[in-house]
Amino acid sequence: MQKTVSAAPPLLEVRGLQKYFQLHLLANRRAEPPPTNTNPTGTPLSDTPPTATVPTINPIKDVSFTARSRNVLLIRGRSGAGKTTILKCIYRTYLTSGGEIWYDSLNLGRIDLSSASEAAILQLREHELGYCSQFLKVLPRVPALDVVAEPLVRCGMKATEARAEAALWLARLGLEESRWQAYPITFSGGEQQRLNLARAFIASPRLLLLDEPTASLDPHSKSIVLEMISEAKARGVGIIVVSHDTQALESLADEIFWLADS
Amino acid sequence: MSDNSSKWVLRASNLARRYGSGCPYCTTLTGPDHDTNQCQVCGTVIACSGISFDLGEAETLGIVGESGSGKSTVMQLVNLSNPADTGELWYRSLGTSNAEPINLLALDKFARRVFRNQQLGIVHQRPELGLNMNFTVGGNVAEKLLMAGWRNVGQIRQRASELMQLTELPPSRLDDDPHTFSGGMLQRVQISKALSSNPAVLLLDEVTTGLDLSVQARVLDLIKRLQWELRIAMLVVSHDLGVIKQLASRTVVLKNGQMVEHGLTDQILEDPQHPYTQLLVSSTL
Amino acid sequence: MKQPDSLKALITQLTAPSEEATSSDREQEEDTLYNFGFIDEDSKREVRRKLLKAVAIPGHLVPFASRDLPVAKGWGTGGLQITLALVKPDDTLKVIDQGDDDSVNAVNLRRFIQKTTNLQVTTDTLEATIVQTRHRVPEEPLGEDQILVLQVPMADPLRWVEPSIERSTEMHAEADYAPIWVYMYESVVRSGDVDISSQYPVMVEERYLMDTTPAPRYDVPALHMSKTLYLYGAGREKRIYAIPPYSRVAPLEFEDYPFKTEQKPGQACEKCGSTATYLTQHYIEAKSVDGTASHSATNGTEGYWAFFCSDTSYCNKRKKVI
């Protein structure tokens, strides 16, 4: 590991992260825990299903890594290894089943994202965390420009100023001005992806979580995105990237974390 | 410490409401585990119990659940129109610094009514519950102002017109009969009325239920716009996860009168923990 | 605070032993076959108790056990029961109907009371100790030693906006009067001004909303800081309420639509020439040459509308002076 890297303060420490999903509903049937009550003869009641433990998927077992400010951490691994799950656990879209995620917050001090209060997470999402998901999930009937401007408005910026700022980002990402007032649902995959990126970068978070940022982009857009990532890094942002596109991102990465198959 | 978690406007703690005499078995025999909220021993209906949540400044909290899950009871308890049997409901004014929280359930009837008029605004699913259909639209919007002591017809009409503009209603129809308005417009009238006193908390009870999809969308858009422009705390009750998803940042899931799950709305939707929530999420169209 | 004489009178009357204890009255009772004041003593006591409560809570509607009388409910039985519960043999009574001493209803009630009590009756407002009235407050100012009893057809002003009595009782209890204000607002919107001609709602002592009975708006200011005790009785609705002397009574009004009385400048009574009294319109038929009244339709000459004082006793007094 390089000296400069270790000198940077740890922004995020993931320790022994675990995540499993309990599927209570499988094939339209509700899975029940084994019945404890039995009839006098000692045999189980006939109407309870014979197999009765809740099926569980366990993509992540004991993952630990550290991300730092002014640093790009690239997470690699096979499809289905749980790369996105890690990002969602950090962003609290998923609840963590075990382990700790310590984040060094500007406002709230050192805080465990896996157990922090919902209000604290909301505050962090507004001011410190940026997340670019693999697929754009936005509310219907909101024009593209407003989708991008929204994080700024959430921080308290005036709508007109926020829209002006959003216009700059959309222009930079090469989205035609004629489409800015259109609804993102009418956009192509690549266009949606660019919108998603603009939304993540605009509020200049301290920690950026990027899920396949370069997927479905043409080479030109891809180079702009890489430029944006390196700019953010220069500003001191800590970045965690999940990507298959190692070729493009390896050059930017300060650290690479290999996620072993579970 | 500037933790956002301390910045709540409204805090419910262990609210409960039952209909019936109650018995020692009530709590152990009802709830989601028994899939009923009626006690089999004494027949008491536990409409809701153990309801606790915080509503932050300018935040929207969703309450989701099926019919009979106790959503509306919770709304009535918060609206102070139905007295809770146990629990506390704290309110803290954010306008003044170091304001002491007050327990709304301990207020007398007068104070409660004044509080409800000034700091709460409610929008019902059925407009006839929230509006007097014999009065004009303007009269309905004016009601809370008149209750607050406004005694100048000119000023009242001015304010009512502004509210109608805010909710995208033509102010020229101020003196029209509510019967001549469509369902979506009536919801806007209700929202105008609710907002007339600049309340601290807006309560939305199944506001889009029963409306056409396109009308639903426009009412939701209006509410979202108000979220941004007024930065008002909202409590949204709905059986529809789609509505909750669009409006609420945090969500509480109710089942048989009890909270089975609470969390950030995207977490509830993507990583539901309770079997019932999983069923609910998988049931969305 | 100095207790007004009428209140004192009421209290002494309620605490004093019943007048019927004297032997002369018992004779009279036997003569007429009726109890003094027709209704029995227990019923009178009920009314008196409720009157005390009503005086203690100005403007508050007090339910009472309304008795049957040989007068149909809705024809002044509430006022009648109050009068019968209050009168003593030395009282002087005046009964008016819409300001008129000689209308059928007034005459009947007066005769009934006279027959069952043998009271002295009068048409002079100043002579009377108790004035029972329907719809009007006499023009001549009443004093502290007089009591005005009003017959009330509809006791609850919230009836216009809240059909459920249960709910309106709650609204009175919580001083929740927003709906009646909306009603006032609506009336401004629909007709350009508050179009409540009679039964104008007032706030008593800034607490209770009260109906002024179908009295014209002209009489509403007379209630404010009045020297006289006002007692209201609704026999059909079984409610009693009161305005004690020197109570603040304010009509509901908007800043930009203030309360107005019906009086118009330039109108004067045709009989006495008064310009400062409540006037009513009467149609005067044209007289033919032989002096008999004839209908305008038959001979082509038209009658006309004339204004007269509604208070006939006051009008007659003025005429005599002139």
Interface of C with B in 185-244 (CB under 8 A): 185-186, 188-190
State the DSSP code for B31. B
Task: Verify C-B touch: 3 or more CB pairs within 8 A.
Answer: yes
Q: Residue C65 class from Cβ within 10 Å (0-12 exposed, 13-18 middle, 19+ buried)?
A: exposed
Asked if residue A42 has pLDDT above 70, the reply is: no
Q: Is residue A42 part of a domain?
A: no
Asked if residue B96 has pLDDT above 70, the reply is: no
Q: Which of C37, C59, C143, C300 is catalytic?
A: C59
Task: Find the closest chain C residue to B175 by CA distance.
Answer: C189
Q: Any idea what the CATH number is for the domain that residue A215 is in? A: 3.40.50.300
Asked if residue A248 has pLDDT above 50, the reply is: yes
Query: What is the identity of the amino acid at B21?
Result: S
* C273 has catalytic annotation: no
The strand pairing partners of A102, in sequence order, are A13, A112
Expressed in angstroms, the distance from the first to the final Cα of chain A is: 26
Task: Find the closest chain B residue to C255 by CA distance.
Answer: B152
* C272 has catalytic annotation: yes
Res. C283 pLDDT band, cuts 50 70 90: confident
Report which secondary-structure segment, H or E, holds B118: helix B109-119
Q: What percent of chain B has pLDDT over 70?
A: 96
The span from the CA of A232 to the CA of C290, in Å, is: 113
Residues 6+ apart with CB under 8 A from B179: B133
Work out whether strand A109-112 and strand A98-105 pair parallel, antiparallel, or are unpaired: antiparallel
* C37 has catalytic annotation: no
Residues 6+ apart with CB under 8 A from B259: B50, B51, B52, B53, B252, B253
Tell me the fold of C5-251. Answer: Rossmann fold (3.40.50)
Interface test with C, best of B131, B146, B155, B177 (most C CBs within 10 A): B146
Measured between beta carbons, which residues in chain B are less than 8 angstroms from residue A141? 217, 221
Asked if residue B7 has pLDDT above 90, the reply is: no
Q: Is residue A97 part of a domain?
A: yes
The span from the CA of C157 to the CA of A210, in Å, is: 67
Residues belonging to chain B with any Cβ–Cβ distance to chain C shorter than 8 Å: 109-110, 113, 117, 132, 135-136, 138-140, 142-144, 146-147, 151-154, 156, 175
The span from the CA of B219 to the CA of B213, in Å, is: 10
CB distance A62 to A18 below 8 Å: yes
* Inter-chain CB proximity A88 and B250 less than 8 Å: no
Nearest of A215, A214, A205, A193 to residue A238 by alpha carbon:
A205
B25: helix, coil or strand? Answer: coil
CB distance B235 to B75 below 8 Å: yes
Least CB–CB distance from C174: residue in B110, B136, B146: B110
Report which secondary-structure segment, H or E, holds B275: helix B275-282
Residues 6+ apart with CB under 8 A from C12: none
* C59 has catalytic annotation: yes
* Inter-chain CB proximity B3 and A23 less than 8 Å: no
Interface of B with A in 230-249 (CB under 8 A): 246, 249
Q: Is residue A26 part of a domain?
A: no
Average pLDDT, chain C: 86
Q: Residue C246 class from Cβ within 10 Å (0-12 exposed, 13-18 middle, 19+ buried)?
A: middle
* Inter-chain CB proximity C256 and B146 less than 8 Å: no
The span from the CA of B223 to the CA of A3, in Å, is: 52
Least CB–CB distance from B143: residue in C178, C254, C256: C178
* Inter-chain CB proximity C189 and B152 less than 8 Å: no
* C269 has catalytic annotation: yes
Q: Residue C236 class from Cβ within 10 Å (0-12 exposed, 13-18 middle, 19+ buried)?
A: middle
Interface test with B, best of C167, C169, C182 (most B CBs within 10 A): C182
Query: Which pTM does this prediction carry?
Result: 0.83
What ranges do the domains of chain C cover? 5-251, 263-287+302-322
Neighbour order of strands in the sheet with A255-258: A129-132, A207-211, A238-242, A71-76, A255-258
**How many distinct structural domains can be found in chain A?**
1
Nearest of A161, A145, A141 to residue A153 by alpha carbon:
A161
For B116-160, the pLDDT digits (tens) are 999 999 999 999 999 999 999 999 999 999 999 999 999 999 999
Q: What percent of chain C has pLDDT over 70?
A: 88
The span from the CA of A191 to the CA of A217, in Å, is: 8
Q: What is the CATH number of domain B4-282?
A: 3.40.50.300
For B25-48, the pLDDT digits (tens) are 888 888 888 888 888 888 899 999
* Inter-chain CB proximity B2 and A108 less than 8 Å: yes
Least CB–CB distance from A141: residue in B221, B264, B266: B221
Structure token pair of residue B282: 């998988």
Measured between beta carbons, which residues in chain B are less than 8 angstroms from residue A153? 228
The span from the CA of B27 to the CA of C153, in Å, is: 53
CB distance C215 to C147 below 8 Å: no
Structure token pair of residue A127: 């001011």
The span from the CA of B167 to the CA of B194, in Å, is: 11
CB count within 10 Å of CB A56 equals 10
Q: B52 — contact with chain A (CB < 8 Å)?
A: no
Q: Is residue A131 part of a domain?
A: yes
The span from the CA of C156 to the CA of C284, in Å, is: 37
CA distances from C139 to A159, A235, C34, C312 (A): 67, 89, 35, 10
Structure token pair of residue B13: 């703690």
Nearest-Cα distance to chain B for C252, in Å, is 10
Interface of B with A in 188-217 (CB under 8 A): 217
* Inter-chain CB proximity C179 and B154 less than 8 Å: no
Measured between beta carbons, which residues in chain C are less than 8 angstroms from residue B175? 189-190
The position carrying tokens 């596109």 is: A245
Nearest-Cα distance to chain A for B191, in Å, is 21
For A114-169, the pLDDT digits (tens) are 999 998 999 899 889 999 988 877 778 889 999 999 889 888 888 899 999 999 99
Asked if residue A253 has pLDDT above 50, the reply is: yes
Asked if residue C18 has pLDDT above 90, the reply is: no
Name all chains with 3 or more CB-CB pairs below 8 Å to chain B. A, C
CB distance B139 to C185 below 8 Å: yes
* Inter-chain CB proximity C255 and B143 less than 8 Å: no
Report which secondary-structure segment, H or E, holds B18: strand B8-19
Q: What is the mean pLDDT of residues A199-228?
A: 89
The span from the CA of C170 to the CA of B16, in Å, is: 25
Nearest-Cα distance to chain B for C140, in Å, is 33
State the DSSP code for A142. -
* Inter-chain CB proximity C256 and B147 less than 8 Å: no
CB count within 10 Å of CB B54 equals 20
